Amino acid sequence: MSSFPTAFSRAPSLMFTMQNLSNINSTNVRLGRLNNQLATGLDILRPSDDPVRSAAISTLDTRIEHTNQLLQNLNFAGSSVGTLDQILADAKNLVDEAASIASSQINSDPETRESQALIIDSLIDSLYSLSNQESLIGHVFGGSAPGRQPIIYDRGAYRFVGEVGGLTAALGTASNVPLTLGVGSAIGELSSRMEGTVNLDPDLTADTLLTDLNGANRLGVNTGIIEFSYNGGQVAQVDLTGAVTVGDVLDRLNAAVIEYESDQAVTVLGPSAFSVNNGSISVDIPAGNLEFFDIAGSSVASDLGLTNNAAVPFNAGNPDGIDLDPKLTWTSPITSLAGLGGTPLGSIQLNNNAATHTIDLSGAQTLADIKSAIEAGNTGVRVLISDDQQSINIVTESAGLQTHALSISEVLGGGDTAALLGIRTLAGSTRLSDFNDGDGVSIIEGRTDPLTGLVDPALNTDFEIKLGDGFTISIDLSTADIATVDTFVAAVNAQADAQLTAAGRPTTDFSANMGAISNGIEFNQSAALGAGGPIGIRPVNNSQAAEQLGLMDGKSGGANTLLRSEDRATIRVNNLFSHLLDLSEALKNDDTFGIELATKRLGISQDHVIQARSTVGGYSRRLDDEVRRQEDRVVFDQAVRSQLRDLDFAAASSEFAQLQLQLQAGLSVAAQSQQRTLLDFLG
């Protein structure tokens, strides 16, 4: 409201006019701002209105936007996990139906079994369709690559080509929930038995990354500053910070010691200076002692094997540090693999998915070359580095019948390459518990004579070996005898030698051994006995050992001097596909034992599907909990932002009315002040 300034007894009209105009403009500005506030509902129209509150509002805006994005991600994740749950529910119904059919056909007739096999085949087709279903983000069984179909039909088998792990996304505290399933799921299984039996023990090279070293303390390798001295003299430092490879470490050590030689006027290093030897850093010290030390709180020298608790210095008699235990990597050169003993590689024979591949590894330069050669040509296998990074494992992707199982053997003239690499599927060290898809070999043991109560060897004999002239060798196996192929062969040879000797026959009449080239346990008889007929095997006391060892299906050779067992150490994918295929095959062949075995394995598949579904249910629960948590967070943040940003309409309306009245009064006063009076005419 305009007022007459009492400080002036007389004043020009312009002063009154300007002051009135200023007051009216100020009121109009406040009315304009308040009008904008009422129109937008916001108390703060620009950051300069209140910088502190504006900063807080900006932070809340960012949090709300991030939370809304998380809620969208959670929506997609929930859809994918829901699809997974439904597929597993359908798979559970499918396997339940198959198990019911299997149970009902144990005592059925061939015609009924044949018709039921057709139903099992249709269930397999349904499972194939289920396993390749997609959600909003892709194939739910594709693992970390949901864009690719995970199961393909390949020459009568169902091959899992999905990836390890599952796809994840930013889902708040549920970010580790996989939205897809890959290797290891109820459907996406790979074989798991072929673990390399040879520690390839890679040597240290200049190109070895420090991150690929377990280190002298088996805790990895750190970099930083270390100290050294020669013959107890002046202590110097070398900075290894930022070193990436062993070669980097060697170069810095060489440079530091050479500078030390110049500064101290001494000769420390010989011609070889710092180098590598097997798994250690080596130093050429013609004379004297070179010692390394860690600075307080550091373990760099210790990690690199340059010092130890015994404080043994480097000298002519001790040129090597502690072994750094290099890890096996795909870039490991073949020449650096001490486990091969310097023996060159040749060829291996790989049988998988009803196909035979002869693979030449003689040209491999690195471990990656071996991987590429074995996986090439649609072999259907994957080559992996073991968890301890010392050997290689091979798994098959194809779930099929026994004829599709994986086996790796030697090639004539191949230099025992499969054994060198530790990947021969049937070797002397192979556990008999791994035979027959993990069912192992069962024996008769501990049976006693009902009259004497003593263990009777005749009642515990597992099978008999009949030579060409009719001589019979009885084999009574114990638990210790069936630990590995080697222990079985040793037990057979020991019992055969004892019985041949007791009969006055030479022990050269018979021997057992592991096949040198082809996979199989070999029984041999002399040429003279072979002329009389082949080696025969007869089970005794209802023992299944001979059958489970593959001896009953063995093949004769070498003019009847050889009987080679069927390879029962082949590797299969034990998942729902293979179990359903086994059941279908058993029904078609009217194989009661096969139906019983398939029924047992389907029970395992049922457990796997139930477990997978319960796991997915847990994922779904975590996603639901996270959705509620994020929704609560959005509501809270919006409430706080509203308190900071939004307009108080009641107060604003009252202020607006007050400003309108003030403007009206100001205009009235201004109008009155512009009226002429006697004073305007007085000089």
What single-letter amino acid sits at 328?
Answer: L
pLDDT at 9: 47
Of 517, 540, 564, the one marking the end of a domain is 564
- Three-state DSSP at 488 gives helix
Q: Which of 564, 202, 594, 191 is nearest to 370 (CA)?
A: 202
- Residue 581 and residue 560 share a domain: no
Q: pLDDT per residue over 556-578, tens digit each?
A: 988 999 999 999 999 998 888 99
- Per the CB < 8 A criterion, the answer to whether 183 and 83 are in contact is no
Residue 90 lies in a domain: yes
- Residue 184 and residue 68 share a domain: yes
- Residue 170 and residue 87 share a domain: yes
- Residue 142 and residue 81 share a domain: yes
- Residue 343 and residue 418 share a domain: yes
Residue 434 lies in a domain: no
Domain that holds residue 589: 61-189+576-632
- Residue 86 and residue 166 share a domain: yes
Both tokens of 493, joined, read 């040879």
pLDDT at 17: 73
- Residue 535 and residue 581 share a domain: no
> Starting at the edge strand that comes first in sequence, how are the strands of the sheet with 463-466 ordered?
472-475, 463-466, 536-539
Task: For residue 521, give Cα distances in angstroms to 475, 573, 615.
Answer: 15, 23, 43
- Three-state DSSP at 184 gives coil
682 vs 139: CA distance, rounded Å: 99
- Residue 614 and residue 554 share a domain: no
Of 541, 564, 587, the one marking the end of a domain is 564
The ranges of the chain with pLDDT < 50 are 1-2, 4, 7-9
- Residue 607 and residue 522 share a domain: no
What does residue 344 show for φ and ψ, rounded to 5 degrees?
Answer: -70, 150
- Residue 580 and residue 551 share a domain: no
523 vs 537: CA distance, rounded Å: 10
Q: pLDDT per residue over 462-511, tens digit each?
A: 999 999 999 999 999 999 999 999 999 999 999 999 999 999 999 999 99
Residue 386 lies in a domain: yes
Residue 177 lies in a domain: yes
Residue 288 lies in a domain: yes
| Burial of 305 (C-beta count, 10 Å sphere; 0-12/13-18/19+) | buried
Q: Which of 225, 361, 381, 216 is nearest to 293 (CA)?
A: 225
What does 301-337 look like in DSSP terms, one character per residue?
Answer: HHHTTS--TT-PPBBTTB-B-----BPP-TT-BGGGB
| Burial of 231 (C-beta count, 10 Å sphere; 0-12/13-18/19+) | middle
Residue 552 lies in a domain: yes
Residue 532 lies in a domain: yes
Helix ranges, 646-681 (H): 649-673
Q: What is the CATH number of the domain that holds 154?
A: 1.20.1330.10
103 phi-psi bin (left φ>0, alpha ψ -120 to 50, beta other): alpha
- Residue 484 and residue 379 share a domain: no
- Residue 542 and residue 463 share a domain: yes
What single-letter amino acid sits at 64?
Answer: I
Residue 519 lies in a domain: yes
- Three-state DSSP at 348 gives strand
Q: How many domains does the chain have?
A: 4
49 vs 395: CA distance, rounded Å: 67
Both tokens of 357, joined, read 């591949």
Residue with tokens 């847990």: 618
Task: For residue 71, give Cα distances in angstroms to 64, 134, 231, 328.
Answer: 10, 21, 67, 43
55 vs 66: CA distance, rounded Å: 17
Q: Which of 604, 450, 481, 463 is nearest to 540 (CA)?
A: 463
Of 632, 650, 672, the one marking the end of a domain is 632
- Per the CB < 8 A criterion, the answer to whether 655 and 9 are in contact is no
Sign of the Cα pseudo-torsion (177, 183, 186, 187, in order): positive
pLDDT at 604: 86
- Per the CB < 8 A criterion, the answer to whether 462 and 474 are in contact is no
